[in-house]
Structure 1
Amino acid sequence: MSRRIVLIRAVNVGGAKLPMVELRQIAADLGAGEVSTYIASGNLLCSPPADPERFDRALETAMEERYGWFREVISRTPEQVRAALDAHPFDVVEDKYSYVYFLTGEPAPDKVTAFERTDFGDDVARVIGSDLHIRYADGAGRSPLTAPVIARGLGVQGTGRNLRTVRKLLELAGS
């Protein structure tokens, strides 16, 4: 079992309430070890049993069965998260305005090209592999670059974390 950073899209916003103590229990019940969470926004650190992809899908299913809503689970190794952080292509003015948006898969090249040509005002975005890098001019809450716009534009779902959170997750993962 190797350590993973597991990110759950859009929990504890709107109607998708997920107490972190329950998330830790669900992960443990699915066989994960070294289970911990960071803040109440769907950040899980654990060592999943066997195949991480199978664990991610099992976690999605368990949450849907327990809570009645579906949310994507996206996991990466600490090394993959470190590489995404190191690849961030924009000057970082403040960590809270710079994000890595971890995608469920690598978007098609034509979708990436069209998305990157879209005018998002003063916000900038670039896809690198299966990660979308964003620098918001005035914060994510005021941006036209929303989760539905990203999903429609790139054809894949994802979940974003600001660089402060990304760094903290790496620290907690021990890398």
Structure 2
Amino acid sequence: MPTHVALLRGINVGGVKVPMAELRAAAAECGHDEVATYIQSGNLVFTPGPGGTAAPAALATALRSALDARLGIDVPFVVRDRDAFAAELDANPFGEPQDGRLLHAMLRDGPVTDAELETIERARERARAAGSRDELALVGTTLYVSTPDGYGRSVLAQALTLGGRDGSPARNATARNWRTMTQLLAMLDGTA
């Protein structure tokens, strides 16, 4: 079974196109085994090759370099091992949603800065002022965003992302809906 998940940030949604076959090939070129992708939004599961590092930051850097060498596209990755990824699912403060498209996890590649905390609070206030039912919770480095009326219409999600600019918690993160999160864990556990 694969032991790690790698998530690309900002691909196949805003003009940067990465075919999943190319993503799998880049991972294989890094020496990784059990390489598989899920849907077209940059979700990769794999097992680091023998003798290589299993450190998530080093894996992210190597995958980023390999994809850049293949396609000339410099795309950041967020990498987790199976246990860290499962812990992020377990830490979800909103419980299991009835519709997995209405709960998102923003997985970050580092701690939240003071500027990002301020953006989170402003986003929360903006959503409340607009009468939104959206909620969020920061647990560790993961931001959980509940959008009962849909992520695409969410005042909170829009205020959080702010186009990925400095001070935006989305700048160093990639968001996945709960359906994708649970499917990736099933792939890691060999139950998918």
Provide the TM-score with structure 2 as the length reference. 0.80
Q: Please list the CA deviations of residues 133-167 of structure 1 after superposition, one character each: whole Å capped at 9, or x if unmatched.
A: 00013212122323632843338411111111111
Instruction: Tell me if structure 1 keeps the 8 A contact 2:29–2:66.
Output: no
The whole-number CA distance in structure 2 between the counterparts of 1:84 and 1:46 is 18
Change (3 A) 1:94 1:155: closer
**What residue in structure 2 maps to residue 43 of structure 1?**
43
Q: Please list the CA deviations of residues 50-71 of structure 1 after superposition, one character each: whole Å capped at 9, or x if unmatched.
A: 1432221121122233333322
CA-CA distance at 1:108 after TM superposition: 2.5
Change (3 A) 1:114 1:13: closer
Gaps of 5+ in 1: none
**What residue in structure 2 maps to residue 59 of structure 1?**
63
Change (3 A) 1:10 1:110: closer
Out of 138, 142, 160, the residue aligned to residue 149 of structure 2 is 138
Indicate the larger mover: 94-103 or 60-69.
Answer: 60-69
Provide the TM-score with structure 1 as the length reference. 0.87
The whole-number CA distance in structure 1 between the counterparts of 2:122 and 2:101 is 24
The whole-number CA distance in structure 2 between the counterparts of 1:111 and 1:17 is 28
Indicate the larger mover: 97-106 or 134-143.
Answer: 134-143
**What secondary structure sits across from 1:31 in the alignment?**
coil
CA-CA distance at 1:114 after TM superposition: 5.1
The whole-number CA distance in structure 1 between the counterparts of 2:114 and 2:163 is 15
Indicate the larger mover: 118-127 or 37-46.
Answer: 118-127
Gaps of 5+ in 2: none
Is 1:106 matched with 2:111?
A: yes
Q: Please list the CA deviations of residues 114-145 of structure 1 after superposition, one character each: whole Å capped at 9, or x if unmatched.
A: 51353242222221111110001321212232
Instruction: Tell me if structure 2 keeps the 8 A contact 1:4–1:46.
Output: yes
Q: Which amino acid aligns with 2:59?
A: F
**What residue in structure 2 maps to residue 97 of structure 1?**
102
Larger Rg: 2
Q: Number of aligned residue pairs: give it.
A: 174
Indicate the larger mover: 63-72 or 157-166.
Answer: 63-72
% identity of equivalent residues: 32
**What residue in structure 2 maps to residue 165 of structure 1?**
180
